[in-house]
A and B are shown apart, each in its own frame.
Chain A
Amino acid sequence: MFYREAGDFKTTYTDDNQTFPIKFDRYRYYAVLFFAFLIVPFVINDYWVNAVFMPFLIYAIAAIGLNILVGYCGQVSLGTGGFMAVGAYAVYKLMTGFPEVSIFIHILLAGGVTAMVGVAFGLPSLRIKGFYLAVATLAAQFFLVWLFNKVPWFYNYSASGQISAPERTVLGIAVTGPNTSAWATYLFCLVFVTICAIIARNLTRGTTGRKWMAIRDMDIAAEIIGVDPLKSKLSAFAVSSFFIGVSGALFFSVYLGAVEVGEAFGINKSFLVLFMIIIGGLGSIFGSFAGAAFLVLLPVLLKNVLVGMLGWPTDLAAHLEFMIVGALIIIFLIAEPHGLAQLWRVAKEKLRLWPFPH
Chain B
Amino acid sequence: MKIGGYLCTGCGIGDRLDTKSLESVAVREGRIGFCKTHDFLCSQAGVDMIKADMAAEGDDKVTKAVIMACSRRAKTESFNFGAVPTARVNLREGVIWIRPEGSEHDETTQEMAADYIRMGCAEVKAMQQADASGEQGKNNHIMVVGGGITGMTAALEASKAGYYASIIEKSDRLGGVMGQLKQRQPEHSPFQNPQDTGVAALIAAVEADDKITVYLNSTIAKTAGAPGRFEVDIASTVGAGTHAEFGAIVQATGFTPYDANNLPEFSYGKSPNVVTQLELEALARAAGDGPIKRADGKVVENVVFVQCAGQRSTKEGHLSYCSGHCCATSIKQAMYFKDSNPDIETTVLFDDIRTPGVGGENFYRSAQDKFVTFRKGKVSTVDVKGNELQVNFKDLILDEDAQMGADLVVLATGMLPNSGTDIDTMKDKDANGEVKVSVESILNLNYRQGPDMPQLVNGFTDSHFICFPYETRRTGIYSAGPVRRPMDAAQAQTDAMGAVMKAIQAIENSAIGRAAHPRSGDLSFPSFRKEGCTQCKRCTVECPFGAIDEDEKGYPKYNEARCRRCGTCMGACPVQVISFKNYSIETVGAQLKAVDVPDEFQEKPRILVLACENDAYPALDMAAMKRNESSAFIRVIPVRCLGSTNTIWIKDALGSGYDGVVMMGCKKGADYQCHFVKGSEMAHVRMAKIGDTLSTMNLEADRVAVHEVAITDIDRAPKLLDEMVEVINRVGLSPFKF
Partners in one complex: no
A residues within 8 Å of B by Cβ? none
B residues within 8 Å of A by Cβ? none
